[in-house]
Chain A
Amino acid sequence: MKTSVTLPQSREKPTAGSRKRKRLEAGMGYLFTGPMLLGVLVFTLIPMIFSFVLSFTKWSFVTGFDKIRFNGFDNFRQLMQDEVFLKSLGNNFIMLLAVPAGMGIALILAVIITSHVYAPGAFKVIYFMPQISSVVAVAVVWQVLFHPSYGPVNGFLSALGVDHPPKWLADPTYALPSVMLLMIWIDLGVSLIIYIAGIKNIPADLYEAATIDGASKLAQFRSITFPLLTPTTFFLLVTGIIGNFKSFALVKVLTDGGPAHSTSVVVYDMYQTAFVDLQTGYASSMVMILFVIVLAITGLQWLGQRYWVNY
């Protein structure tokens, strides 16, 4: 507040030196970023620290602060023997496969859409559709498509002569792949749009030169498109993996982590532990493990990028 009052004064005396102006500018900077910083502090940083502290306690959020009891590393020790948690963590890692798979499909589609189809705008809209629809609506539609007895998917399979089509969402072996399929389908639009933007950024003369040299389309893709898209790929990989670790809504709406925990993921298990079993401390320690894993994977990717990303 005070800085805005001093603003006209400082303008009257421009001779006061560049130091003062710099300080003023910095002040204005903080003033403008202040609300955001405050938001980050109150809603992100402090809860994170709080959650870190809670991960060493046995506590339920309904009982009030006076009942917090520290128990050291007990939660983590217990987590290492918690079958549901380990299963969820394993599922998380299997689910990561959906990220490169989805990106591959998006890249192929992006190449086709930018140069080989009529009305590319329409295709972009079509592929982006699932992203703008609510997850709940999408999940309900797929729930019906995957109906084990009368669903169109199994109807099609039995028309092809498959005797015992999988039960999809109700089958412990197929439930996780089904969920991953949907994830790919939902997130395709975003990767596609970003890839198209990346492709548009590649200078056309590279392709012209390659064509003159007689390079085939495939060779052009391999030597021009793909290498020049590596920064885009890197961005999508990092954000995709982080997003994938946080997947919750789809699992919650589609399968509730079932059957028999086959689609449970860490965030879902955490939700269940914190808000159904009311064990806040234990759930916080799950979050800490997830945080460390995501941090480690992202760090590894940053370190690894110099070997394959061309800027």
Chain B
Amino acid sequence: MKKNVFALVWIVVLLVALAGCGKSNNTNGAAPAAGSTAAPEAGESAAPSTEPVTIKVANWSPAADMEPVLKAYEDSHPGVTLEYVELADNGDSVAGMKKLDLLVASGENLDVVFMPGATDYSQRAGLGLLAPLNDLITKEGITLADEYTIDPSVDGKVYALPDTLENYFVLLNKDKLDAAGLAVPTEWSWDDYLDYAAKLTSGTGPSKTFGTYFHTWAMYWELGIINQEKDNNLVNNGIVNIDSAGIRKSLELRNKAEESGVAVPYADTISQKLAYRSEFFTGHAAMIVTGNWMIGEAGGSEEFPATFTTAFAPMPSNSAGEPSGVSIANGNYVGILEKSKHQQEAYDFIRWYSTEGEQMQNVYSAWKKQDVDQFIAGVKTKAMSPDNIDETSLAYVIKNAKPAPLSVPPTYQGELETAFTKETELFILKQQDLETTISKAQAELQKIVDANK
């Protein structure tokens, strides 16, 4: 009896201790913590920009890359202190997003957050994490379409500004191209692409050079729609786009490349978890479809030094008559957290960062007024081995790119991509034929769309 009473007392004590913990956690998470961490001096939030303000900026880029830009902003905007939160230690954006979610969930008072691509952006906008920027944009009096190449609106509301511009093109190993007697293409279709891949394939065994490499990402299963001006997503305005000529074209392209042995086999890609950078820079694959973030890296990086000249070609078209170089415009997005206490200051910063800040960092941005020539020159000066970047073709590709407006995907884009990839994997691994793949994928994606209505 007595023993039981004692045990009860102990449990009560433990529970009380715990409840104490819980309560203090709650208050931390909810409101007043902002006062202590985000703005030590600006306790009363009524005062605007005159009071010193600290803005926490979260990005997955290495601190060394970000800090000079943030420093420049602080210098030109007295009273604003920027605190950088590095989300990943190796520039890995996927790991960065996981860290970001955990930080947000644990009540960290971040103000400005970066997101690597429309899928991550729309998912978080859909969850209500990001503050709508429409009022702030109206207040500044700008029209987004005049400022940026990308339209970042989700269901008519803007939750983030476009940061970098990401459209797609083809990287080519110019040394191998020269050896095969091929010119750098300026207008071409996917058939020409396969033709090039066949001519660039050589050797056998582990040292074989493949014509091309397709990564595991969903975009490599939809190459025939991401080069379209319109309807360039899996689901456009609620209509599932799988049973279409574009997707058929995409899957046939992958299948032809796989069967003729001009692309790195998909089985190797997934079982060895191949990475596109190493495949290209070691010369294992002579061409890859990729995007703007690789422009700087064409000159080599610490991990993958450039041992050959890299040339650039526009995105191929679906058939000979259509224009090359059309590609969906995706990119990084920068938004403000809903619970940020300094919406106006944060907005001022992201406006500056997505325009002049980008220019400083010499990344290819979605800002319409950026100086392309300066960007190309900048790429060369920053590169480790600038001579390995073929400047002529780079300039051609950038100046002739036709970024197609990307309909920012629905908030369940991730689910769509998983379901679609599952079917295409079965197709490329010869578990089901093209028509089965199309009809099954169409039905599955329709289910997801219906469930999210």
Pair B6/A30 contact, Cβ less than 8 Å: yes
Query: Does B24 count as interface, using CB distance less than 8 angstroms?
Result: no
Interface size range on B against A: 35 or more
Quick check: is B320 within 8 A (CB to CB) of the other chain? no
B18 touches A41 (CB 8 A): yes
Residue of B nearest to A81 (CB): B447
B268 touches A148 (CB 8 A): yes
Cα distance A62–B98 when bound, in Å? 10
Surface stretch bound by B, among A101-109, A126-134, A258-266:
A258-266
Complex interface: chain A residues within 8 A of B26 (CB): 65
**Among A23, A37, A170, which residue has the most Cβ atoms of chain B within 10 A?**
A170
- A170–B429 touching, CB < 8 Å: yes
Query: Is A93 interfacial (CB 8 A cutoff)?
Result: no
Report the bound CA distance from A148 to B17 in whole Å: 57
A22 to B266, CA, bound (A): 70
- Nearest CB in chain B to that of A25: its residue: B3
Compute the total of residue contacts between A and B using a CB distance below 8 Å: 99
Which residues A18-38 have CB closer than 8 A to chain B? 19, 22-23, 26-27, 30, 34, 37-38
Min Cβ gap B163→A in Å is: 20
Known: A30-B7, A172-B429, A258-B270. A278 touches B127 (CB 8 A): yes
Q: How far is the CB of B417 from chain A (nearest CB, A)?
A: 11
Contact between chains at B14 and A63 (CB < 8 Å)? no
With an 8 A cutoff between CB atoms, is A70 at the interface?
Answer: no
Q: Which residues, 47 to 87 on A, are CB-close (under 8 Å) to B?
A: 60-65, 67, 84
Q: Are B267 and A171 in contact (CB under 8 A)?
A: yes
Beta-carbon contact of B431 and A149 below 8 Å: no
Interface size class of A (residues with CB under 8 A): 35 or more
Rounded to whole angstroms, the CA-CA distance of A149 and B269 in the bound complex is 11
Q: Which of B3, B14, B425 is the one whose CB lies under 8 Å from A260?
A: B425
Residue B46 at the chain A interface, CB threshold 8 Å: no
Decide if A168 is an interface residue (CB 8 Å cutoff). Answer: yes
Chain A, range 134-181, C-beta contacts under 8 Å to B: 143-144, 146-150, 167-172
In the complex the two chains form, what is the Cα distance from A90 to B62 in whole Å?
Answer: 42
| Bound Cα distance A172, B266 (Å) | 13
User: Which of B10, B17, B205, B265 meets A30, CB within 8 Å?
Assistant: B10
Pairwise interchain contact A260-B426, C-beta atoms closer than 8 A: yes
Residues of B close to A171: CB separation below 8 A: 267, 429
By beta carbon, the residue of chain B nearest A64 is: B29
For residue A146, which residue of chain B has the nearest CB? Answer: B271
The yes or no answer to A276 lying at the interface (CB within 8 A) is yes
Is A42 close to B, CB under 8 A?
A: yes
Q: How far is the CB of B413 from chain A (nearest CB, A)?
A: 11
Q: Which residues of A contact B101 (CB under 8 A)?
A: 61-62, 275, 278
A46 at the interface (CB under 8 A from B): yes
A150 touches B14 (CB 8 A): no
B206 proximal to A (CB < 8 A): yes
B residues 372-427 touching A (CB-CB < 8 Å): 414-415, 418, 422-423, 425-426
Cβ contact within 8 Å between B127 and A60:
yes
**Min C-beta distance of B103 to chain A, whole Å:** 9
Q: Chain B residues near A259 (CB, 8 Å)?
A: 270, 425-426, 429
Q: B2 interface residue, CB < 8 Å from A? A: yes
Within the assembled complex, what's the spacing in Å between the Cα atoms of A65 and B106? 11
A277 beta carbon closer than 8 Å to chain B: yes
* Contact of A168 with B271 at beta-carbon distance under 8 Å, contacts A23-B3, A34-B10, A61-B101 already known: yes
Query: How far apart sit A150 and B206, CA to CA, in the bound complex (Å)?
Result: 7
With beta carbons under 8 angstroms apart, the residue of A27, A170, A260 that contacts B271 is A170
B271 touches A147 (CB 8 A): yes
Kindly state whether residue B361 has any CB partner on chain A within 8 Å: no
The distance from the CB of A51 to the nearest CB of chain B, in whole angstroms, is 15
- By a CB distance below 8 angstroms, the chain A residues around B98 are 275
Q: How far is the CB of B30 from chain A (nearest CB, A)?
A: 8
Please name all residues of chain A whose beta carbon is closer than 8 Å to the beta carbon of B123 when the two chains form the complex: 278
B12 within 8 A of A: no
* Minimum C-beta distance from A110 to chain B (A): 33
Query: Which one of A62, A149, A261 contacts B127 once the chains associate, using CB atoms below 8 Å?
Result: A62
In the complex, which residues of chain B have a beta carbon less than 8 angstroms from the beta carbon of A168?
Answer: 271
**A167 CB contact (under 8 Å) in B6, B7, B267, B339:** B267
Residues of A within 8 A of B266 (CB): 170
- The smallest C-beta distance from B445 to any residue of chain A, in angstroms, reads 13
Minimum CB–CB distance from A68 to chain B (whole Å) comes to: 13
Partner of A148 from the list B21, B127, B267 (CB cut-off 8 Å) is B267
3 tightest A-B CB contacts, nearest first: A170-B267, A170-B271, A169-B271
Question: Contacts A260-B425, A275-B101 given; 11 further ones with Cβ under 8 A?
Answer: A38-B14, A38-B17, A144-B272, A147-B268, A150-B206, A170-B429, A255-B270, A255-B271, A259-B426, A260-B422, A275-B98
Q: Can you give 29 A-B contacts (C-beta < 8 A)? A: A26-B6, A34-B10, A38-B14, A42-B18, A60-B127, A64-B105, A64-B339, A65-B26, A147-B268, A148-B265, A148-B267, A150-B205, A167-B267, A167-B271, A168-B271, A169-B270, A170-B266, A170-B267, A170-B271, A170-B429, A171-B267, A172-B425, A172-B426, A255-B270, A259-B429, A260-B426, A275-B98, A277-B414, A278-B101
